Amino acid sequence: MNRIDSNSVLALVRAQGHDWIDEAAAQRIAAGVTAAVAAVEASLRQGEAGLLIEDSAGFLMTLEQLAEPPR
């Protein structure tokens, strides 16, 4: 996967008004973002190609459906 580079990070954070972020900080942030987004991409590749239509609001309901039966 391609890295998200520090120039892209700088453009994004400055567009949101965070002028305090310098080149060194942008490099660190780029490393963190790259690793995190790679995990999403890898997980997407493990599923079937197609529209991702699962409702994220259903997470609590999924937990409840999978709950340990009462003793």
Partner 1 sequence: MSPEGWTLVEVADAIRARRVTSREIVETCLARIGDWQPRINAFAAVQADSACAAADRADAAVAAGIPLGPLHGVPLAHKDMFFRASRRSSLGSRNPPPAPGAVESSLLGRLDAAGAIEIGTLNMCEFALGPTGHNAWLGDCRNPWHTDHIACGSSSGGGAAIAARLAFGSLGSDTGGSVRLPASACGVLGLKPTNGRVTLAGMMPLSPSVDVPGIFARSARDVARLLGVVAGHDPRDPRSSRMRVPDYEAQLEHGIAGLRIGVPQSYFLESVERDVAARLDDSLRVLTGLGAEVVPVAMPAPEHLTGLSRVLVYAEAAAIHGPWLREHADDYSPQVRMRAATGLAIPAAAYQQARQLRPGILRRFVEAVCAKCDVLHLPTLGIPVPTLTETDVGGAAEMWEKIAVLVRCTAPFNYLGLPALSVPCGFTGNGLPTSFQLVGRPFAEATLLRVAHSYEGVTDWLRRAPVIP
Residues that bind partner 1 (CB under 8 A): 4, 8-9, 12-13, 16-18, 20-21, 25, 27-33, 35-40, 42-44, 46-47, 52-56, 58-64, 66-68, 70-71
Tell the smallest beta-carbon distance from residue 44 to partner 1 (Å). 6
Residue 49 or 55: the one with the smaller Cβ distance to partner 1 is: 55
Q: Are 30 and 4 in contact (CB under 8 A)?
A: yes
Structure token digits, residue 16? 């949101």
d(CA 22, CA 10): 8
Residue 50 beta carbon to partner 1: minimum distance, rounded to whole angstroms: 12
For the CB of residue 49, give the shortest distance to partner 1 in the complex, in Å: 14
With tokens 């079937």, the residue in question is 48
CA–chain centroid gap for 39, Å, is 8
